[in-house]
Amino acid sequence: MRFFERIMNKLILAKMAKGGQISLCVIKENSKKPKTLNHDLLFRLLKDNANTEYGKKYGFGEITTLEEFKARVPFSTYDDYAPYIERMIDNDEKDLITAYPIVHYAVSSGSVGVPKRIPVSRETLDHYNLNSSNRYFAHADEAYRAAHLARPVQRGLYRRGRLHRPHRAHARVPGS
């Protein structure tokens, strides 16, 4: 049974490491075209949020160029969104600043003032979790192998809870 578990763990780890490597390749490729990706993201967000209260206020559905976006949508800060967020929290109102369903509200540390509540959608959470876990596993295979190579060395260093260094018996161990 233990042999089967080891094989399955290695297969699963290899699959996750492959996913991580693919994710890193995508990041590398995407870093070559940031302007295009940002443009595409902006217009997807405008389209998806055109029917929100905020989107209707600034005509998201009619914006077709970056210049139009800059002309129609003013520079904003958290304070501009706070009344909408309060309504979302207090009255459970939907489609105010985002069409995406909100799964929870993150709270900032308040390091530059009062802590702020930030709506987090399922889409944002899924995107973050997928990308961060994929990047985490990108080098998992090498880390796993390194840990297993180090294990015999680690076992040899400690005996009965004490540091054991036969090759340097004359060396003084700090704190002894």
The stretches in the chain having pLDDT less than 70 are: 1, 13, 130-176
CA distances from 93 to 63, 78, 99, 101, 142 (A): 25, 18, 11, 11, 48
pTM of the model: 0.65
Q: Using the structure block, give the residue that is written with the tokens 């700090």.
A: 174
pLDDT for the residue numbered 65: 97
How far, in Å, CA of 82 to CA of 91, rounded?
14
Domain assignments of the chain as residue spans, ordered by start: 2-168
**Digit-coded pLDDT (tens) for 83-97:** 999 999 999 999 999
